[in-house]
Amino acid sequence: MSGDYLFYLWGSYGVTFLLLFLEIFFLLKRKREAKT
């Protein structure tokens, strides 16, 4: 996949999965803190 649209396409996918990863990261952190 190539072309002028790489920024828009991968900017969408990259940020989406980064945000989902961050939600999981902070949720697991909260889970650890809730257990202590």
Partner 1 sequence: MKWFWYASPQTFYPLAGRMAPWFAAAAALLCIAGLYVGLVVAPSDAQQGEVYRVIYIHVPAAWMSMFIYVVMAGWAAFGLAFNTRLSGMMASALAPTGALFAAIALWTGSLWGRPTWGTYWVWDARLTSELILLFLYLGFIALQAAIDDPRRADRAGALLAIVGAVNIPIIHYSVVWWNTLHQGASVSVTRAPTMAAQMLTGLLLMAFAFWMYAIAVTLVRVRCIIREREG
Establish if 5 lies at the interface with partner 1 (CB under 8 A).
Answer: yes
Distance from first CA to last CA of the chain, Å, rounded? Answer: 47
Write out the two tokens for 1. 């996949």
CB 3 within 8 A of CB 11: no
Closest contact distance (angstroms) between CB of 19 and partner 1 is: 6
Lookup: tokens for 36 = 């202590």
Total residues contacting partner 1 by CB under 8 A comes to 22
* Interaction between residue 19 and partner 1 (CB under 8 A): yes
CB of 26 vs partner 1, minimal distance in Å: 9
25 makes contact with partner 1 (CB under 8 A): no
